[in-house]
Structure 1
């Protein structure tokens, strides 16, 4: 499991069920429960199930981002920041595509993104009965393991013999429903166009999570099958017309985790323990990376991509902290929970059936608070983001888990998911040993700091070495940067792992007892009890409100809706649009307000009134990056690439007054392709 996924897994243990009244425009809805009639009545649109099916089959999950198919030959639009890792991996200090843009003259020059894959959701089916039956009568870690095993069995059955598919059991309403999602999987994804990084990130961190914005944060990838562009007959039609304020917009993508269904008690745990710890750790690593990048231009190049990701994480946390200390916001959350409890109490049969899940969840909070630091540092954050450590971790864990029957393994290593793990560690990508060493030593020092020197688990991690000395030894001596070495260890299994003399492999092998014990205790005392209480609370919720409300986001495909519109905050009105004239007015020539060279050189060719970015009242969150913005005709009119700092409260609740998604328009992308970068073959493919 990757660092990001492990941190998300830790966070989702706090996701519970509440039931606020749904407001117009609110909700990251699943495609099999979208409120068609209500949306049509509100927006004046005429969408139907066939429209939903076309949008679903044109929507793409791309790593931790979203995207949309825009031609019949596998061309897909997403954000530039969603391909930043691919750009970095394809670049060198001498040929830096982030600085020049990646501008292939033809399809033959498109380059494969190492380890990348993309997926399209083809089917949704209900497996609630099987999953709930699997956990019946179980508790603690046994409950977790029973449901994990059943999910693995369902996935294996559904995808048996299908080499180009992925099956995933998705938990909705925290155990109230379980759905089987089947995806068409593309393991060959190639970069087809990316602008200069400065064109996509104009304004830098100062403008991040902000509006007005002036960024061409767009890129194209292409799906390939059997060495040729994939046939994608269902796709979005390109519409580069100038958007109109008030027009209906739908955003389709795979938003990450929301926590709107938390009880108030658990919100306090997030506010008082989880977010403060996460922010302190993230801010220090951010500082370390900034200092590392200041050493030389080569160091700045190496740290560019991970630093941008960290800065996003940090700023997102700031927005969420502001929400949790906002008295009015928290009062609305408390009122929603009070309404929920009152509805249950007013139904004696329902109240007798569900008991007091709120009390059960409240009782877990002191345990969550006590265990979160050790679980976070020893399991969820293990390695500090080091790629080499991640290779070693996956190789060791996979070898240990593959020695067991599939149904008894950790869920990330069941048979149906091993292929993805193998693809990730076999992909060739550049490795920067000095950066790797810094990340591992930083993680070790932070673990020692949070758990204390006298914690026996810290002694198990470090032995008699310092964090810096241990990191230098294992990173300096490892051979895992060589894909052939990784392949031999993967294919050799546990025997090869245990016989390896690689210092990083042997060290990761030696610390498994500490990390596995932290995970086991977390699952026994937090995840299992939380999931059991949440399943009960889900029944209470359905009994009180029915199923005409949406679940929390889970990193799976959703559809949200709204209009093109600005907003007013603290007396200041923010218009819905920015244009190229505004970009030229905002530029100063000094970073981060320096315009990318190719873009600046094309200034006289670009119509100044072309809408560059627009604000839309759709309900989005992290993971929605790259999500297609679609009009009522099902045509793509832009791609979501950001939101405002006030929108970060979206993790806990939707506020129509300030929640805004930030969209780069297809009009701006068309201008960039035509007038700046000379990508005529892509314009022809788009029908422009």
Structure 2
């Protein structure tokens, strides 16, 4: 059976036989690419009911949260939003304190007045999408260099954006697809007043923690609730008490009917990034460099953070969001390398590349047009020392300790201080902005923890990269501190204003270049960013050849496989995927059912454990089987279910919709066995993990007693 599955996988990958559940499709194109297949699978909607620019449609109920870091969906006429708990985790954490620990206890606004504002949080609606490929490429020729080509493309795109925006408040951008072979223009509308309405305790919303992350079976009640507000005129507005709940063009009705194996399911959302058309050379680089750097650096960082979080409730609140962000893709990188190895993805890619080479060599005109593509890509990856240095620097020095990035935010002030009289007003404004940023920064900051992280990660960076790629101050560490990075970090934190709120605020009251030039953290940050720019410039000199190789390779593939329906890689634009509710066989002798129940939630309980604790009220209600109207036909409360929808990061919080256009779940994860999914879709194993919408509503209604929120929704029984 395994051999048969592998043969089927190779057939799909090499010869392009499209399977219905693979692909992240542009909703604007489903009328000609997908709707017939979708309707054959059980979709009862028309293409116009899914995507329309003239009438309300499903697209109007689905939003990009925070510019696409997550997805959310509208579920009431008054702008009520559902998304994942981890998509609202940062806001829940920011509103939490030892006195009001919303992470531990949950939060529920029992009236509109109690809903909490979140400066900086946004929701973005898609207004329309236009294919502008011909206009963008009108003045592009094959003889141009990549830089010349990009200049012409940008010139045309800027003109199109200006025309589309006109005098509206909309945002307009042009994105490339299929490695710059096609281009689409997007018109969007962004709302800036987004208020927290409800969130379950972390023991529900993050149940299973890092242990269960990317795993099935799951029992996590991964949701949170927000509301979109607008000005009295219905348009986007900054937060104001005078704002009103936004009235959407469409919101999703919610089905209590549950799901059965084989049911049609579609997901709409904003997947972040995939690279399904990456070559064997790129896959090898991802495994050996990108993922290896991420795993090694984050493992040490997470170890240090975990020790601090275990020290007190305050520490746990402070670093909860930071730990979650770092841990998520640490584990993803491990799983991705395992899956890519197990599924022999590099070998599959190499087979495809051999076919491509044979195809190009068989025809002189094809060879002239596409023959150099793979050589350009291969040549790029022959010397990757600079690329490796940039990967490690991003992980260890830019996203590792916080002090370097925070210190670098003061760099513009240093420039202004070179002419203190001429820049007096600008210095004052920028200092005030830095003070506001410092309030948030120091609220969730432990200088001792950051010092430990800095010492440990500088040591890792030095061990992995030669002196050519090391920031200038690393030479001082070797000479003056005999290579003791912990000792240097200790001294640096002693000699810096960037690890202490009072010192930093005092500096901003009377800023001077002299103080910055003596500050070890500021000067170290200066060296780090200077070296990062140097490395990036070195890489960019050969990046044009890689971009050209990728563009030509994919253009050639599409010509080589004319009968295949190609879908574009994810790039944080709205996509639709469709599939079915399905179980799967992760390994020999094991079959995973397509659903879980709250029985499993109780079975996993470890009292007092950070990941598997069960609140007393939750346990009491479940033992009493007080499921209200949310029980399945089998009498149980279903927790989660799986489908074979094609998703990735950014799809977190996406609505899972049945064939009637009703909400049946919220997507929140992928499965461990298919962590290769961003680079190669695996049809037999890839699953989308979703919280059952009935479990969500049960928590809101029965557990939290927030039935006023249920009354806002359109419930289909």
Aligned to 1:416: none
Q: Whose Rg is larger?
A: 2
1: CA distance, partners of 2:249 / 2:196: 20
Aligned to 1:587: 605
**What are the Cα deviations for residues 234-253 of structure 1, in whole angstroms up to 9, with x where unaligned?**
12122222222211000111
- Using the TM superposition, give the Cα deviation of residue 571 of structure 1 relative to its aligned residue in structure 2, in angstroms: 1.7
Asked if residue 26 in structure 1 is aligned to residue 22 in structure 2, the reply is yes
1: CA distance, partners of 2:101 / 2:192: 25
Asked if residue 267 in structure 1 is aligned to residue 283 in structure 2, the reply is yes
1: CA distance, partners of 2:559 / 2:269: 29
Distance 1:498 1:618, change over 3 A: farther
2: CA distance, partners of 1:337 / 1:398: 51
Q: Given that residues 19 and 541 in structure 1 are in contact (C-alpha distance below 8 angstroms), is that contact kept between their aligned partners in structure 2?
A: no
Aligned to 2:421: none
Aligned to 1:537: 553
Query: Which protein has greater RCO, CA pairs closer than 8 Å, 6+ apart?
Result: 1
Distance 1:460 1:556, change over 3 A: farther
**What are the Cα deviations for residues 489-530 of structure 1, in whole angstroms up to 9, with x where unaligned?**
9xxxxxx997985956665456543222122222222x3221
Superposition CA RMSD, Å: 3.6
2: CA distance, partners of 1:397 / 1:545: 52
Distance 1:265 1:609, change over 3 A: same
Asked if residue 326 in structure 1 is aligned to residue 339 in structure 2, the reply is no
1:253-264 matches, within 5 Å, as 253-264=269-280
Classify the secondary structure of the residue corresponding to 2:689: strand
Determine which of 599, 607, 611 is the counterpart of 2:618.
599
Distance 1:29 1:264, change over 3 A: same
Aligned to 2:660: 633
Classify the secondary structure of the residue corresponding to 1:325: helix
Q: Given that residues 403 and 499 in structure 2 are in contact (C-alpha distance below 8 angstroms), is that contact kept between their aligned partners in structure 1?
A: no
- Using the TM superposition, give the Cα deviation of residue 149 of structure 1 relative to its aligned residue in structure 2, in angstroms: 7.1
1: CA distance, partners of 2:229 / 2:382: 50
Distance 1:618 1:455, change over 3 A: closer
How many residue pairs were aligned?
643
2: CA distance, partners of 1:249 / 1:651: 20
Aligned to 1:55: 58
Aligned to 2:464: 450
Gap runs ≥5 in structure 2? 1-12, 52-56, 232-242, 417-432, 482-487
Q: Given that residues 384 and 439 in structure 1 are in contact (C-alpha distance below 8 angstroms), is that contact kept between their aligned partners in structure 2?
A: no
**What are the Cα deviations for residues 369-412 of structure 1, in whole angstroms up to 9, with x where unaligned?**
211222224457643255664455456479999xxxxxxxxxxx
Q: Given that residues 18 and 541 in structure 1 are in contact (C-alpha distance below 8 angstroms), is that contact kept between their aligned partners in structure 2?
A: no
1:154-303 matches, within 5 Å, as 155=161, 158-159=164-165, 162-163=168-169, 165-226=170-231, 227-303=243-319
Aligned to 1:558: 575
Classify the secondary structure of the residue corresponding to 1:531: helix
Q: Given that residues 252 and 629 in structure 1 are in contact (C-alpha distance below 8 angstroms), is that contact kept between their aligned partners in structure 2?
A: yes
- Using the TM superposition, give the Cα deviation of residue 69 of structure 1 relative to its aligned residue in structure 2, in angstroms: 1.3
Classify the secondary structure of the residue corresponding to 1:33: helix
Determine which of 499, 515, 520 is the counterpart of 2:537.
520
Determine which of 578, 592, 595 is the counterpart of 1:577.
595
Farther-moved stretch of structure 1 (532-541 vs 566-575) = 532-541
Classify the secondary structure of the residue corresponding to 1:72: coil
Distance 1:685 1:538, change over 3 A: same
Asked if residue 104 in structure 1 is aligned to residue 131 in structure 2, the reply is no
Q: Given that residues 141 and 520 in structure 1 are in contact (C-alpha distance below 8 angstroms), is that contact kept between their aligned partners in structure 2?
A: no
Q: What TM-score do you get using the length of structure 1 for normalisation?
A: 0.84
Q: Given that residues 88 and 97 in structure 1 are in contact (C-alpha distance below 8 angstroms), is that contact kept between their aligned partners in structure 2?
A: yes
1: CA distance, partners of 2:496 / 2:176: 39
Distance 1:446 1:462, change over 3 A: farther
- Using the TM superposition, give the Cα deviation of residue 49 of structure 1 relative to its aligned residue in structure 2, in angstroms: 2.3
Farther-moved stretch of structure 1 (332-341 vs 566-575) = 332-341
**What are the Cα deviations for residues 105-151 of structure 1, in whole angstroms up to 9, with x where unaligned?**
11111111232112112121234346555797665777767766765
Classify the secondary structure of the residue corresponding to 1:255: coil
**What are the Cα deviations for residues 553-573 of structure 1, in whole angstroms up to 9, with x where unaligned?**
122221111111111232211
Q: Given that residues 273 and 569 in structure 2 are in contact (C-alpha distance below 8 angstroms), is that contact kept between their aligned partners in structure 1?
A: yes
Asked if residue 45 in structure 1 is aligned to residue 43 in structure 2, the reply is yes
- Using the TM superposition, give the Cα deviation of residue 632 of structure 1 relative to its aligned residue in structure 2, in angstroms: 1.2
Determine which of 640, 650, 664 is the counterpart of 1:623.
650
Classify the secondary structure of the residue corresponding to 2:327: helix
Classify the secondary structure of the residue corresponding to 1:657: coil
Asked if residue 91 in structure 1 is aligned to residue 87 in structure 2, the reply is no
**What are the Cα deviations for residues 445-487 of structure 1, in whole angstroms up to 9, with x where unaligned?**
433333245756343797768234324544545669989999x
**What are the Cα deviations for residues 248-288 of structure 1, in whole angstroms up to 9, with x where unaligned?**
00011111221211111222222222222221112121212
Q: Given that residues 374 and 451 in structure 1 are in contact (C-alpha distance below 8 angstroms), is that contact kept between their aligned partners in structure 2?
A: yes
Q: Given that residues 155 and 168 in structure 1 are in contact (C-alpha distance below 8 angstroms), is that contact kept between their aligned partners in structure 2?
A: yes
Determine which of 63, 78, 82 is the counterpart of 2:83.
78
Classify the secondary structure of the residue corresponding to 1:614: strand
Classify the secondary structure of the residue corresponding to 1:615: strand
Q: What TM-score do you get using the length of structure 2 for normalisation?
A: 0.81
Farther-moved stretch of structure 1 (636-645 vs 121-130) = 121-130
2: CA distance, partners of 1:61 / 1:70: 15
Distance 1:329 1:91, change over 3 A: same
**What are the Cα deviations for residues 408-441 of structure 1, in whole angstroms up to 9, with x where unaligned?**
xxxxxxxxxxxxx99x969956331424444444
Aligned to 1:414: none
Asked if residue 681 in structure 1 is aligned to residue 708 in structure 2, the reply is yes
1: CA distance, partners of 2:340 / 2:347: 10
Q: Given that residues 199 and 223 in structure 2 are in contact (C-alpha distance below 8 angstroms), is that contact kept between their aligned partners in structure 1?
A: yes
Distance 1:510 1:270, change over 3 A: closer
Q: Given that residues 76 and 251 in structure 2 are in contact (C-alpha distance below 8 angstroms), is that contact kept between their aligned partners in structure 1?
A: yes
2: CA distance, partners of 1:198 / 1:57: 32
Classify the secondary structure of the residue corresponding to 2:471: helix
2: CA distance, partners of 1:543 / 1:517: 39
Distance 1:512 1:297, change over 3 A: same
1: CA distance, partners of 2:351 / 2:283: 14
Aligned to 1:9: none
2: CA distance, partners of 1:638 / 1:461: 55
1:122-137 matches, within 5 Å, as 122-129=127-134, 131-132=136-137, 133=139
- Using the TM superposition, give the Cα deviation of residue 51 of structure 1 relative to its aligned residue in structure 2, in angstroms: 2.2
Distance 1:66 1:461, change over 3 A: farther
